[in-house]
Copies of this chain bind each other. A is one copy, B any other.
């Protein structure tokens, strides 16, 4: 009924968390390390960390959803990625010690906060943790590059189709249905992620519905024809 309960119901198991090695890899806890990390509750619209702010921790989404945004030159805002339960955030700060993006809660959510000191000590103490960190960073790098390539080469319909399939896959990975799910973001956030306008996104979703490829009613999505969406032709309007 109250927020904590509903959050608990939606929360992911720690075994599926990207930062799990930084939580419990510490059986032999190194000297004086904070044994347990802070959990933070966020409500819709609340900011986890601000663009340009000093990096003091890395984060893992435990329940709920967030978006990661960057302000492009010109004032426009771009949504870099959407964070689902189990995802890690704030890693890009390892470079300049400052966050290059802003993380905002899409709804009520809970994140685990691993202080930078703890992360550093664990990386230095356990080779496996450091390697895991590299793997995470490399994975996000590859993903960011793929997203850039998609923005540069795909048409509007292809981008929307690819986005639906990506969300579908991410739900599938987490053990939920890949065919029917709810989108955690509104049209504006979707559009800002895909480099389109809300009108275009809306039109394309309607088009997919008319073709019988997918049904999107508000935030509810049902994938009917994955193959069609995957091979979505350049000209689909």
A residues apposed to B, CB below 8 Å: 70, 72-74, 76-78, 80, 91-96, 100-101, 120, 123-124, 127, 130-131, 133-142, 144-154, 158, 162, 192, 194-195, 230, 234
Residues of chain B lying within 8 A (CB to CB) of residue A134: 94, 123, 130, 133-134, 137
A69 closest partner in B (C-beta): B149
Of B124, B130, B144, the contact of A145 (CB 8 Å cutoff)? B144
Copies of this polypeptide in the complex: 2
Residues of chain B lying within 8 A (CB to CB) of residue A92: 138, 141-142, 145
A126 closest partner in B (C-beta): B124
Q: How far is the CB of A138 from chain B (nearest CB, A)?
A: 4
A94 closest partner in B (C-beta): B138
Residues of chain B lying within 8 A (CB to CB) of residue A162: 73
Residues of chain B lying within 8 A (CB to CB) of residue A195: 151-153
Q: How far is the CB of A62 from chain B (nearest CB, A)?
A: 22
Instruction: Judge whether B74 and A153 touch: CB under 8 Å.
Output: yes
Of B76, B95, B149, B152, the contact of A141 (CB 8 Å cutoff)? B95
A191 closest partner in B (C-beta): B152
Of B80, B93, B135, B138, the contact of A149 (CB 8 Å cutoff)? B80
Instruction: Judge whether B94 and A135 touch: CB under 8 Å.
Output: yes
A144 closest partner in B (C-beta): B144
Given A148-B80, A151-B195, A195-B152, A138–B93 Cβ distance below 8 Å? yes
User: Within the assembled complex, what's the spacing in Å between the Cα atoms of A124 and B194?
Assistant: 39
Residues of chain B lying within 8 A (CB to CB) of residue A78: 148-149, 152-153
